[in-house]
Structure 1
Amino acid sequence: MPPPRSVRLALALGLLVPTLTACFEEPSPHEAIRDFLVGWESGDYAMAARRADANEASVRKALGDVALHLDAASLRFKLGPISRDGDTAKASFQAEVDLGENNPLWTYESMLPLHLVDGRWKVRWSPSVIHPDLHEGERLAVKVDPEGRQPIMDRYDDALQDRDTQYVAQVIPVEVSDPARLCQELAKVTGFAQDRLLSRILSAPPTDAVPLATFGRAKYQQIRAQLARIDGLKIAEVYPPVAPKSPVHIVGRVSAVTAESEQQLGGPQRAGDTVGRDGLQRAYQDQLTGSTETRVIVLDTKTWKTVKELKSWPGRKNTPVRTTIDSRLQHAADLAVARTQPVALVAVDAPTGQVLAVATKDLHQEKDALAGKYPVGTAFSIVATDALLRGGLDVRQKVPCTADRTVGGARFQQTGVTSSAPSFEADFAHGCVTALASLARRLDERSLTESAANFGIGAPWGLPLNSFSGTVPAGTTDAARAKIIAGSAVRVSPLAMALVAGAVRSGTWHPPTLVTAPASPDPTSDITPPQVPAARPLNVDAAAKLRALMRAGVATGSARAAAAPGDPVHGVASTVTFVEKKERRELSWFVGWQGDVAVAVMMEGPDPAGAASVAGAFFSGTRKDF
């Protein structure tokens, strides 16, 4: 954090005085130059004025106005060569003005003309002493032209925000009789620093509307009566595109800068500035905002028209954030989850891993759909079956689906058992946990670990938002491996399982992508920059057999509710019961795809067809291949 303005002035003065006093000897202009520049720099305008040849009160005011009209955090001067010609002298100097408000320094070269008056050296006063291009009847001013917040867009460059109403408290300086009192009253209502509000008024062109504070609808209604009582304050309605569209938690919310959020953003902000509260708006705060053009200008004090521009800074370029979200698929996902139990749905593009839609009901799109840590039940047998197939398993092999089975001391139970001895294909399609768990003895820890890695489970992939790739415990015993196959010992997010489905569909696991531009989030945020691991191709034969197994899961198995018009739907369904924070929870899962759209649906409740039904509704709503 930069030191207070008073401290910076003291430091500057401490650095300047030795430089200016080292070689000052009378009778010479040195002492006059020192007193004038040190007095101006330190704010001792009386000392500076005593070294000018004009009315001291006028000089004091003119020098004080420089800091006010520039809203300067500090002024520093570096003395250059001094030349003398009889009773006249010239001293060149460089001025360095800190304009504050996160702007760069303004430096310019100038000259102090001096002459002898009654035996004493005096600065020959005129406005050009302040700046070479400043003349009588003119003053300096700072004009800022901020650009609005850039949008977050979907994959087709359509904005993922709607316009919202905000209320801007502003003034036209020339119309305000007592700006100090106005700022005092506004500071009491808003919490903004009174001196910062006042400096914005005094430094702006007097006929420009100067925004001082911005409020959302709720806050404005709360303080509307108090604002109405402040003489000279005007309220303007603006309609920036900041209201998030779906997926709301992923896009994130935006609010106007408050006195509290100024500290979060690390320095004085102007009215109209916005802060991302969560989601991508927060992760990409720096890229979405920050482009403010600043200009130092000379004004005619009679007409208030700009006479000349002395310096301008274009400001840091802000850019839109482009996501992989498909708004049409997002709409279909929102409709699919609208009338259900708490549910999360994540859809990805199978050939690329790009996130197409994230929809939830009574769950959080980031915390649950992307970053949730949940058991997945026998849907995890997709991963385990990859290891079994690479080990030579014949899907036609008969594997009994019993009501009860113990593997290595771990007990598993299955409801709805038929008396026939099904094949592995049927066991997989119906998610028979006892049959699948019994195959633990055909696997070793290494093969399970390899398959999990091939499907990105536990990989260090990430997104600009919080996300979870999954964890698989060590499978050192038959019981441990049986629990992994049954999906009760693993923890995954819906996003991780959507990528699993995409890997089977395309034959290659791809890391997830949510944002395509810019490449990384705001480096000042506390979000970990996304890692991009390499895509991992699956075993070709195993992937082909998995696709056939997952087609059977919808055609004849427990995932039949996911069937939809169009391309055949592939997938598996599962249920799992677990205890979290001493509460018993039941989840229903569907993991599969239609066309190139791979999905994972996780739904709370005991209905084994619940998640598959949501997936079927989603696929029916899309009616388009990718």
Structure 2
Amino acid sequence: MGTRRRIAEHKKGGPLVIGGLIAVVGVGGAFAGYSLVGGGAAADDGASARSVHKTVKTGPPSASEVRATAAAFLTAWQRGDVTKAAAATDDSAAATQALTGYRKDAYITGVTLTSGKPSGTTVPFSVKATVSYQGKSKPLSYATRLTVVRRAKDGVPLVRWQPTVVHPDLTDGDRLVTGDAGTPPVKALDRDGGELTTDKYPSLGTVLDGLREKYGRTAGGKAGIELRIVRKAATKGTQKTPDKTLLTLSEGTPGTLRTTLSPALQAKAEQEVGSKDKASVVVMRPSTGEILAVANSDHGFNVAFQGSLAPGSTMKIVTSTLLFEKNLASADKPHPCPKYVTYGGWKFQNDNKFEIKNGTFKTSFAISCNTAFISQAQKLQNDDLTKVAQQIYGLSMNDWAIGVPSFDGAVPVMSDAQMAASLIGQGGVRMNPLNMASVVSTAKTGVFHQPYLVSPSVDNRTPAKAARTMSASTQAQLKEVLQYTAEAGTAAKAMAGLGPDYGAKTGSAEVDGQKQPNGWFTAWKGDLAAAGVVQAGGHGGDSAGPIVAALLRAGS
């Protein structure tokens, strides 16, 4: 059978063959014989009965233990023996609930599981089954994986329970449900009237799900019958991830909904993020707030709209606004950029410990001098940055309504070293590409326009508003330092040839346990703005910069 092992229905008394392992199955369905190949729960139990001095095994499960444990779990699941399958996991209660719901709530029957070649303690497997509901049936197939771990107290190998064992798109608190969809489907259109589909634009899966969830009942459609993932409720301060349709048993009648997406820029965004791992980008129009493109190289969680990441030095746009307003910096005046600055017990430094002697603030901004910002912390109140982010940039108020779930940034009030770190986009500050595209748009126009994917006129919702606008002097200086960064600073390589009506800021955000920082880049060109992040991509000018610049060129 090669490297593939079929876990099939067994005739009475016949052996189950899994990757060369013969497991004798008795009338009651109990497993025996694993001790013949040197491992597994049965072998451990037998040894325990013979001797009270058994040494508890430690370390990763052996290859034979991995095979035997996976076989026990998958065979029991396939047979519909929920109790036995759950007992083969390290969380029998959660496994029982999920596997019971698999049959009773999702109406999935005729399950056939085929395991692949293990990789260490991980075993991939495919699922083929049938979904049957009210006389309608359709085949279901997908691939997922399980991991075998050793229980610390007795050394027994078990399947580590996690929702992805049942389906790769499940997360904690999600449920598989088959029935009337409740929410009618939506035919989403781009700004030119073309249909938006995941076949054309793979990144739009979560966006289309979100559009359906919000507008399905008002767009004029009729619900069908579906197998779908019903997502867990949102926590305070967040928006619920949209439910996801996995299989349609009966087609509903879709309603029609027009979005602001540009087909050309969306296609280009998909292409650009596809060339890198963990890349996300958003393109918008500064003068209106219209979102023209959104793409993620990972088509699961929508980092571009819902991500919550430290933005690194791109946050210096907001911090510069604060410093200009308080007359703590001026674009063309001298400004300190030492090698080190200590604040709140932390010692801050610049990349490669550089310093600028007798330089201006514009120069410090252009080459992203951290200490130029940290040096001003002692002159600031703990809530100053939060106020500017909220009042001028519309951030961190949890009131954006773009048409689908989104996160509108977090700039919490911090103190001591964390307050200083927030000035350079670390500490407690969290953003995503949508937020940073909005930030550079506000810097360019001087006015916050809440980004949106669906026109507010469709459902008469009220977009978020900023409490005030920045002064003309502040905006002029912001544009000056951003243009200089695009022309001669860390963004110059990526932005070459896009001037003169342009501006940009790079960023690198350190992440604990990550070898390379997240690379950020945000920029405008004319009436286009974009921001991107490449997680673990290194310097933003080299990782996210080319993605953003390519989209600005394509839209010009």
TM score, norm. by length of structure 1 = 0.50
- Structure 2 unmatched ranges of 5 or more: 1-128, 143-186, 188-194, 224-251
- Indicate how the Cα distance of structure 1 residues 376 and 248 shifts in structure 2: closer, same or farther if over 3 A, else same: same
Are 2:387 and 1:387 equivalent residues in the alignment?
no
CA shift at 1:243, angstroms?
Answer: 4.3
- Cα distance in structure 1, aligned partners of 2:275 and 2:332: 39
Are 2:288 and 1:352 equivalent residues in the alignment?
yes
Contact 2:443 2:478 in 1 (8 A): yes
Among candidates 548, 555, 563, match of residue 487 of structure 2: 555
- Structure 1 unmatched ranges of 5 or more: 1-187, 195-212, 220-239, 254-275, 293-315, 521-528
- Cα distance in structure 2, aligned partners of 1:543 and 1:359: 29
CA shift at 1:574, angstroms?
Answer: 1.3
- Cα distance in structure 2, aligned partners of 1:487 and 1:385: 12
**Aligned-residue RMSD, C-alpha:** 3.1
CA shift at 1:554, angstroms?
Answer: 1.0
The correspondence of residues 37-436 of structure 1 with structure 2, limited to 5 A, is: 191-194=132-135, 213=136, 243-245=197-199, 247-250=201-204, 252=206, 278-288=209-219, 290-291=221-222, 319-362=255-298, 364=300, 367-392=302-327, 393-416=329-352, 417=354, 420-436=357-373
- Cα distance in structure 2, aligned partners of 1:608 and 1:496: 16
Among candidates 453, 459, 466, match of residue 405 of structure 2: 466
- Indicate how the Cα distance of structure 1 residues 515 and 405 shifts in structure 2: closer, same or farther if over 3 A, else same: same
Aligned to 2:544, the other structure's residue is in SS state helix
Number of residue-to-residue matches in the alignment? 340
- Cα distance in structure 1, aligned partners of 2:284 and 2:204: 15
Name the structure 2 match of 1:457: 395
Contact 2:383 2:413 in 1 (8 A): no
Among candidates 437, 457, 462, match of residue 498 of structure 1: 437
Q: Deviations over 1:18-52 (max 9, x none)?
A: xxxxxxxxxxxxxxxxxxxxxxxxxxxxxxxxxxx
Aligned to 1:593, the other structure's residue is in SS state strand
- Cα distance in structure 2, aligned partners of 1:457 and 1:518: 22
Aligned to 2:510, the other structure's residue is in SS state strand
CA shift at 1:619, angstroms?
Answer: 2.1
Are 2:451 and 1:516 equivalent residues in the alignment?
no
Contact 1:249 1:279 in 2 (8 A): no
- Cα distance in structure 2, aligned partners of 1:485 and 1:189: 55
Among candidates 471, 474, 480, match of residue 539 of structure 1: 471
Contact 2:130 2:139 in 1 (8 A): no
Among candidates 549, 553, 556, match of residue 616 of structure 1: 549
Contact 2:282 2:531 in 1 (8 A): yes
- Indicate how the Cα distance of structure 1 residues 511 and 606 shifts in structure 2: closer, same or farther if over 3 A, else same: same
CA shift at 1:566, angstroms?
Answer: 4.5
- Cα distance in structure 1, aligned partners of 2:400 and 2:511: 27
CA shift at 1:368, angstroms?
Answer: 0.7
Aligned to 2:521, the other structure's residue is in SS state strand
Aligned to 2:455, the other structure's residue is in SS state strand
Are 2:423 and 1:485 equivalent residues in the alignment?
yes
Aligned to 2:133, the other structure's residue is in SS state coil
- Indicate how the Cα distance of structure 1 residues 242 and 597 shifts in structure 2: closer, same or farther if over 3 A, else same: closer
CA shift at 1:192, angstroms?
Answer: 2.6
Contact 1:287 1:318 in 2 (8 A): no
Contact 2:202 2:270 in 1 (8 A): no
TM score, norm. by length of structure 2 = 0.56
- Indicate how the Cα distance of structure 1 residues 370 and 247 shifts in structure 2: closer, same or farther if over 3 A, else same: farther
Q: Deviations over 1:583-607 (max 9, x none)?
A: 5662111112111111111112223
- Indicate how the Cα distance of structure 1 residues 584 and 419 shifts in structure 2: closer, same or farther if over 3 A, else same: closer
- Cα distance in structure 2, aligned partners of 1:245 and 1:537: 42
Aligned to 1:537, the other structure's residue is in SS state coil
CA shift at 1:280, angstroms?
Answer: 2.0
Contact 2:524 2:530 in 1 (8 A): yes
Name the structure 1 match of 2:235: none
Are 2:378 and 1:441 equivalent residues in the alignment?
yes
More strand by share: 1
- Cα distance in structure 1, aligned partners of 2:254 and 2:528: 33
Name the structure 2 match of 1:571: 504
Name the structure 2 match of 1:606: 538
CA shift at 1:395, angstroms?
Answer: 2.2
CA shift at 1:284, angstroms?
Answer: 2.8
- Indicate how the Cα distance of structure 1 residues 448 and 418 shifts in structure 2: closer, same or farther if over 3 A, else same: closer
| Letter aligned with residue 552 of structure 2 | F
- Cα distance in structure 1, aligned partners of 2:139 and 2:443: 47
Contact 2:356 2:364 in 1 (8 A): no
- Indicate how the Cα distance of structure 1 residues 356 and 383 shifts in structure 2: closer, same or farther if over 3 A, else same: same
Percent identity of the aligned residues?
25
Contact 1:252 1:281 in 2 (8 A): no
- Cα distance in structure 2, aligned partners of 1:425 and 1:321: 45
- Cα distance in structure 1, aligned partners of 2:323 and 2:266: 36
CA shift at 1:518, angstroms?
Answer: 7.0
Contact 1:347 1:358 in 2 (8 A): yes
Contact 1:503 1:538 in 2 (8 A): no
Name the structure 2 match of 1:590: 521
Aligned to 1:544, the other structure's residue is in SS state helix
- Indicate how the Cα distance of structure 1 residues 217 and 473 shifts in structure 2: closer, same or farther if over 3 A, else same: closer
Contact 2:273 2:295 in 1 (8 A): yes
- Indicate how the Cα distance of structure 1 residues 541 and 287 shifts in structure 2: closer, same or farther if over 3 A, else same: same
Contact 2:504 2:521 in 1 (8 A): yes
- Cα distance in structure 1, aligned partners of 2:196 and 2:358: 59
- Cα distance in structure 2, aligned partners of 1:190 and 1:351: 49
- Indicate how the Cα distance of structure 1 residues 431 and 190 shifts in structure 2: closer, same or farther if over 3 A, else same: closer
Contact 2:285 2:528 in 1 (8 A): yes
Q: Deviations over 1:160-202 (max 9, x none)?
A: xxxxxxxxxxxxxxxxxxxxxxxxxxxx9652324xxxxxxxx
Contact 2:205 2:299 in 1 (8 A): no
Q: Deviations over 1:345-381 (max 9, x none)?
A: 11111011111111221364x6311010000112111
- Cα distance in structure 2, aligned partners of 1:418 and 1:438: 13
CA shift at 1:560, angstroms?
Answer: 1.3
- Cα distance in structure 2, aligned partners of 1:414 and 1:553: 17
| Letter aligned with residue 322 of structure 1 | R
Contact 1:570 1:592 in 2 (8 A): yes
- Cα distance in structure 2, aligned partners of 1:533 and 1:608: 29
Contact 1:462 1:468 in 2 (8 A): no
Q: Deviations over 1:447-504 (max 9, x none)?
A: 3232111111102213332211111121444x33321111102011211111011111
- Indicate how the Cα distance of structure 1 residues 376 and 362 shifts in structure 2: closer, same or farther if over 3 A, else same: same
The structure having more radius of gyration, on CA atoms, is 1
- Indicate how the Cα distance of structure 1 residues 423 and 360 shifts in structure 2: closer, same or farther if over 3 A, else same: same
Aligned to 1:286, the other structure's residue is in SS state coil
